Chain A
Amino acid sequence: MEMPATPNGFQINITDKVADIVFDLHDEKVNKLTTPVMEEFDGLVEQLAATDGLELLVLRSGKPGIFIAGADIAEIAEITDPVAGAALSSKGHRILDRLTDLPFPTIAVIDGACLGGGLELALACTYRIATDNPKTTIGLPEVNLGVIPGFGGTQRLPRLIGMPKALSMILTGKPVNGRKAFKLGVVDALVPAEFAAEKVAEFAGHIKSAAGRKAVLARRNPRPLRRWLTQDNALARLLTAKVARRSLMKKTKGRYPAPLKALEVIRRTLGMPLDAGLAAEAREFGKLAVTPISKNLINLFYGSEVLKKDKGAVIDGKPRQVSRAGVLGAGVMGGGIAWNFTKADIPARLKDLNWEAVGKGYEAAANIYGQLKKRRKYDQREVDIKMHLLTGTTDFSGFGNLDIVVEAIVEDLGIKRKVLAELAGHVRDDTIIASNTSTLPITELAEGLPHPERFIGMHFFNPVNRMPLVEVIPGKETSPETVAAVVALSKRLGKTPVVVQSCPGFLVNRLLLPYLNEAVMLLQEGASPKAVDRVLTGFGMPMGPFTLLDEVGIDVAHKCAVVLAAAYGERMTNATLLECMCEDYHLLGRKGGNGKGFYLHQGKKRVANPELPAIVGDWRKANNICPRQFSDDDILDRCLLTMVNEAARCLDEAIVADPLHLDMAMIMGIGFPPFRGGLLRYADALGADHVWTRLSELAGEYGDRFKPCERLQQMTRNQREFYNETVR
C-alpha cells in the first residue's frame, strides 16, 4: 500500500506488515528537521501507531549521500529567548519519544550524512543500520555551533554506548564513519551500501527472534565491568567527567561553554530517568542558544558556506582546471606549497638554484607528510605515491607544460621581477603566474610581464599545512578568469581563498602588523611581553603577539613593518625596539639561529629571555622613556582597536568585499578567536560609540595613530554597525 508523499516529502509504503518511510525533503538538497518537518513526522508516527498489525518500521532517506543532515540551523539562530529555545527542544523530545514508544520495532537505515538532529532521530529508533558508503558520517556536531544536542542526544547516546564513548563524540562534535560508528556501538550493523536493501531485510528477519534481538543488544554492551567502572555509579561519572573536563579545558581554555555544558548535563543526568534528563537538556540548550558565542559560531558556519560558494570573480563557464603546477623557490614556503599541490594530487615541479636547495623543499614536504602519517591521516604507501608527484629541477625544463607557477622566492621587488621575467620566457602563453609575496604590490610586480592578465598574488600563510587562508590578490590588469582559476585551485588545495585588492600588506598583514607593532610599543613604554601575551591569549588569540613575533621571526616582522610604515606613513610608525632587537642584538625569535627572541626557546619550551629587561632598559634610557603600568583593558584596546581602525579603512578602500570576508580572513589567517565571531563582529559587539570613544581617548593619550578613521566616525554619527549598515 503506497500513500502519496506528504507536503514535506515523506513517502510511506506499507507491505507485509512493514512500514517503510522514505524521507526526501522537497526543494532542498539535504534532509533537515525543520519544525514543519518534525510536526509532519509526528503526524505520521501517530498514524502508524494507530495502524493495526504493523510489525516493523524502516526509516530511510531518498537523498543520495544524505540521511538527515541535522536540525534547521536557521531556527536555532533565531532563538532569542531561552524559554523558547527550551520549548523547541522539548517539542522535539516529545515527537521522538512517540517514535520510541511505537508498539513495534523501528530501524533507521543510515546511508550518508547523519548529523545532529538526524542522529538524534536515529537514536530514538530501536535499531540503526549504517552503510559503508564513504559519505556515511555520523555525529553530533552541535557544540561547534555553541549549543548542545537538543533532541535527546545528550541522553540517548550515553545510554546507548556508554559515557566515555558518548563524550568523545559529543564534546568534540567530530563525526565518525560507518565503520567507527559500528565499532562504537552507535549502529547495530554495518552493511555494504550496494546491498543495503537485502541486508536490512536480513536484519529485520534476524530481530524477529528473541535470540536475534539478544545478540544485537549484547553487542551494544560488551563490557559490563568497564561500564560499571566508568558510569554506573555517581562517583565513576564524576571521575570520568573530571578527566574529560581536563582535556576539554586544555583544548578550549574554557572559551567555549557548549562542550563544558554538554559534559555537565551528561554527568548530572545519566543516572536519572530519561524524561528528567531530557528536561535538563532542553533547559541548557535554550540557555546556550541565546548566547552571543552561539550566534557568532552560527554566523561563522554561514560565513564558511558563503566562502565555499564564492567564485572570486564573475566569469562565463567554469574556472580553468590546473593539472600541473610549478613552484619557484624551495624554501619553507615553496616546499609547503609544493606539498599542498601533491596533497591535492596535482603534480608539482619544484625549482631552485641548486639541488641542495631543491632537497630542502623535498624535506619540507616530507616533514609535513611525516606529521600526517603520525596522526594516521596517511600510511607510508600513500605518502610514497604523493611524494612521486613532486619533481625537482634546477633549470626551467618541464615548465612549458605547467598550468600555473607559484613564485615563492626571496621578498625583493628587483629579484622577483628579474626571475618572473625569466620565468615568463619558459612557460606557455596561457600559464598563470602567481606570486606568494606577502607585501609587494601585485601591479608593480606584473610590470613588464608579457601577460599581466595572467599574473596574480596567491598568498599562503606559514605553515602552509596548518593555515587555511589563501589571500588571492588580483593586480590592476589581472583577468577575472585568472582570479576564478586561482580561487578554484585554492579550494582544491583545501584552503579558504579570500580575494583582496592589492595594497601593501594586503589584508591580513596590514591588520596584523599594526597589532604586533602596538604590542612592541607597549613593551617600550613599560609593559612586559608576558603581560601582553596573557591579556591577548585571555581574549582568545591562539598565541600572544610576542610569542607570534618569535614564531614569525623578529627580522621578518621588522622587514614587513618597515614596508608598511613606508606605505601608510605615521599611523604605522615602527616601534624602534624591534629593529634594535634584530639589528643590534641579533635576537630573531625561535628559528633565528640561537632560539632567542622575546622569549628563550628550548625545544618546545618557552621561558622569559633574561637578556630582555636590560635591552629594553637601555632602549628606554636612550629614548628617555619612563616605564609605566598598563591596565589589561589598555593593553587589549591598544592592540585590538588599532586593528579595528585599520580594518575600517580596508572596508573604505574596498580592499575586501565585505565585513564577513574580512572576519573570515582574520579567523583563517591569524586564528582570530572564532567564538568572537571575527574582528568586526567583536567591534560590533562593543558598539561603534564605544570603539570611537576608546580610540579617541587612546589617541589623546598615546598619539594620533589611534585617531578613529572617517568610517568609524560616520558609523558613530549614524548609529551603524559594520554588519548592519542601516540604522540600528
Chain B
Amino acid sequence: MKERIAIIDGIRTPMCKAGGVFKDIQADQLGAWIVTELIARSEIDPALVDELIMGNVGNPAHAMNIARVIALKAGLPQAMPAFTVHRNCGSGNEALTTAAAKIQAGDGDIYIVGGTESMSSMPLLYGPRMTELFANLAKSKTLGQKLGVISSFRPSFLKPVIGIVQGLTDPVCGLIMGKTAELLAREFHVSREEQDRYAVESHQKAAAAVESGRLAEEIVPIPVPPRYEAVQEADDGPRDNQSMDALGKLRPYFDRHNGTVTVGNSCPLTDAAAAMLVMSETKAKELGLTPIGFLRAYAYAGLEPQRMGLGPVYSTAKVLDRSGMAMSDIELVELNEAFAAQAIANLRAFDSDEFAARHFGRQHKVGAIDPDILNVNGGAIALGHPVGMTGARLVITTLKELHRRNCNVGLATMCIGGGQGGALLLEAA
C-alpha cells in the first residue's frame, strides 16, 4: 500500500454568501489570508514547504495563477513554486490529491494545499459584438475610421455575459447545474417536499454545529477588509429558523412550471478559502508533528455531464474497489449537497442493487449511507459552496469530526460539474 498522506492541520475562513460580507475580498486575498494563518499557527518553517497548490474555479483576471499570487502574498519564499489546479467543484480536493500524488512520486515532502473562491467577484463580460467594436476601435487609426466604428454601436451590444451563469452552465450538455438537479429529481423521483425537508435538516444540523462550537474549531475569523471595522467569525448561511413553510413559498428557479429545485433547497453562491498543511507520514514523524488525520485513498470518476450530481456514488464505488474497503467500514460521510435533489438521488443510488448492476456491473449496491453519519454538521445547502474551496472544507470537517467522535474512517465525496465525482477516504490520526 502507498504511504499515507498526513494532514497536519486544516483551517478555513468563514463561508459567506456571495455579494455579502466578503464581497470586497478577492479570491487571492481570501487564500492569502488563510495560508498566512496556517503558516503562522502551524509554526512550520516556510522554507521547508516544497510547493503551494491551490484549487480555484473562477480564476480572477488579475491573478492568473492564483496559487502563486497567494504564495507570495502569504509570505512564502519566492524560491518556492506554486500552481493552481482546476477540477471544477472538486478543485479543493484536487489540490490535496495532487500533492499526495507528488509526495508519493517522490517529488517533494511538504505541501500547502487548499482552495479559494470569491463567487462575489465573478465578472460581467462584454458580449462578442461589443468586444469586436473595442477591437476595431483599437485597430482604427484616423479619426474618420474611429467615428465609423463608433457609429456601428447599438445599445444591445451592452447586454452583458454573466460570468457566473456561464460558469455554472455545462458547455457540452448545455444545462445549467440546477437543471441537472431537476433531471436527477425526475430520475430518482425526488419530490419537492423531500427536497425541502432535506434542506431544513441541513440548516438544523448546521445551526446545531454552530451553537456547539464545532464549526468554530475549523474556522479562523476574518477582520473584514478594506476597512476592517467588523470581524466575521462564523458562516452566515445556516438559519436555525429555516422552515418547510418558508421554503415552500419559494418558486422553482430553474424550471418555473414543473420544477422542484428552488434557491432554498440548493446551495448558495459563497465566498471562502481553506488550506491544509500536508506531508508524508514519514516526514510528519521526522518533524515530530501530530497530524489531524490521513488521506488513505482517493478516486475520481466520470459520467454523463447532465447527471453530474451522481458523481459521489460513481467515485465512491471506485475508491472502495481500489482500497478494498466497503461502505460498512465507513463511520462518517461528508457528501457535498449541491442540491437537495442531487444529495437524495445519491443516497438512493448508493442503496440500489439495480443501480449498481446497471452502472458498475456490480451484483450488490455500493452500500446505504446511514443518515446519522451523513453531513452531521450540516452541508452546503446551509453552509454554502464556494466551488473551488469546498473540497478542502469537506476533508477538514471530516477529520475534525472523526476526532470528536473518536471514529477512524471517513469519506468525503462530491459531485463535480462537467460530469465527474470525487471521493476521498480519510483516516483519523
Contact = CB atoms under 8 A, between A and B. Distances in A.
Interface of A: 347, 349, 355-356, 358-359, 362-363, 365-366, 370, 380, 384-385, 387-389, 391-393, 397-398, 400-401
A384 B29 contact: yes
A355 B225 contact: no
Nearest to A356: B231
User: Could you say which of B36, B74, B230, B231 has the most chain A C-beta atoms within 10 Å of its C-beta?
Assistant: B231
User: Could you say which of B29, B37, B40 has the most chain A C-beta atoms within 10 Å of its C-beta?
Assistant: B40
A251 B228 CA distance: 33
Contacts of A380: 226
B73 interface: yes
A355 B221 contact: yes
Contact of B227 (A347, A366, A391): A366
Given A359-B231, A388-B32, A347 B75 contact: yes
A567 to B, nearest CB: 39
Contact of B228 (A363, A385, A400, A401): A363
B228 A362 contact: yes
A388 B226 contact: no
Contact of B40 (A355, A365, A398): A398
A359 B223 contact: yes
Q: How many B residues are at the interface, by size bracket?
A: 20 to 34
22 contacts: A347-B36, A355-B223, A358-B221, A358-B231, A359-B221, A359-B230, A362-B228, A363-B228, A363-B229, A365-B228, A366-B227, A384-B225, A385-B73, A387-B225, A387-B228, A388-B33, A388-B74, A389-B75, A391-B36, A398-B43, A400-B43, A401-B43
Interface of B: 29, 32-33, 36-37, 40-43, 73-75, 221, 223, 225-231, 233
Contact of B37 (A359, A387, A391): A391
Given A362-B223, A362-B228, A388 B40 contact: no
B36 A388 contact: yes
B29 A355 contact: no
Contacts of B37: 391
Contacts of A365: 228
B35 to A, nearest CB: 9
Nearest to A349: B40
B40 A391 contact: yes
A718 B75 CA distance: 60
A384 B228 CA distance: 12
B227 A363 contact: yes
A63 to B, nearest CB: 31
Contacts of A392: 221, 223
Contacts of B36: 347, 388-389, 391
Contacts of A349: 40
A366 B228 contact: yes
A575 B165 CA distance: 71
B41 A398 contact: yes
B78 to A, nearest CB: 13
A388 B73 contact: yes
Given A347-B40, A347-B75, A391-B37, A366 B231 contact: no
A385 B32 CA distance: 9
Given A366-B228, A389-B75, A400-B43, 6 more contacts: A349-B40, A359-B223, A363-B229, A388-B36, A392-B223, A397-B41
A390 to B, nearest CB: 8
Contact of A366 (B40, B221, B226): B226
Contacts of B230: 359
A426 B229 CA distance: 29
Nearest to B229: A363
Nearest to B28: A384
B225 to A, nearest CB: 7
B88 to A, nearest CB: 28
User: Could you say which of B36, B41, B227, B230 has the most chain A C-beta atoms within 10 Å of its C-beta?
Assistant: B41
Contacts of A401: 40, 43
A388 B223 contact: no
A316 B75 CA distance: 31
A165 B75 CA distance: 42
Contacts of A391: 36-37, 40-41
A358 B225 contact: no
Contacts of B229: 359, 363
Given A388-B36, A391-B36, A366 B41 contact: no
Contacts of B226: 366, 380
Contacts of B231: 355-356, 358-359, 362
B11 to A, nearest CB: 10
A8 B75 CA distance: 47
Nearest to A395: B41
9 cross-chain pairs, A with B, having the tightest CB-CB distances, nearest first: A359-B231, A362-B223, A366-B228, A362-B228, A397-B41, A398-B40, A401-B43, A359-B223, A391-B40
A383 to B, nearest CB: 8
B155 to A, nearest CB: 33
B75 A388 contact: yes
Contacts of B43: 398, 400-401
Contacts of A363: 223, 227-229
A378 to B, nearest CB: 13
B294 to A, nearest CB: 22
A407 B264 CA distance: 48
A359 B225 contact: no
Contacts of B29: 384, 388
A270 B58 CA distance: 63
Nearest to B225: A387
Nearest to B221: A355
Contacts of A398: 40-43
Contacts of B40: 347, 349, 391, 393, 397-398, 401
A688 to B, nearest CB: 53
Contacts of B223: 355, 358-359, 362-363, 392
Contacts of B75: 347, 388-389
A370 B40 CA distance: 25
B123 to A, nearest CB: 18
User: Could you say which of A366, A391, A393, A400 has the most chain B C-beta atoms within 10 Å of its C-beta?
Assistant: A391
A363 to B, nearest CB: 5
Contacts of A388: 29, 32-33, 36, 73-75
Nearest to B227: A366
A366 B233 contact: no
B34 to A, nearest CB: 10
A211 to B, nearest CB: 28
A393 B33 contact: no
A581 B36 CA distance: 47
A389 B51 CA distance: 20
B213 to A, nearest CB: 13
A380 B26 CA distance: 13
A607 to B, nearest CB: 30
Contacts of B32: 388
Contacts of A370: 227
A363 B227 CA distance: 7
B33 to A, nearest CB: 7
A362 B224 CA distance: 9
Nearest to A394: B221
B325 to A, nearest CB: 34
B110 to A, nearest CB: 16
Nearest to A359: B231
Nearest to A335: B228
Nearest to B230: A359
Contacts of A358: 221, 223, 231
User: Could you say which of A370, A385, A387 has the most chain B C-beta atoms within 10 Å of its C-beta?
Assistant: A387
B62 to A, nearest CB: 10
A340 to B, nearest CB: 16
A355 B73 contact: no
Contacts of B41: 391, 393, 397-398
Contacts of B74: 388
Nearest to B231: A359
A72 B226 CA distance: 48
A239 B42 CA distance: 65
B199 to A, nearest CB: 30
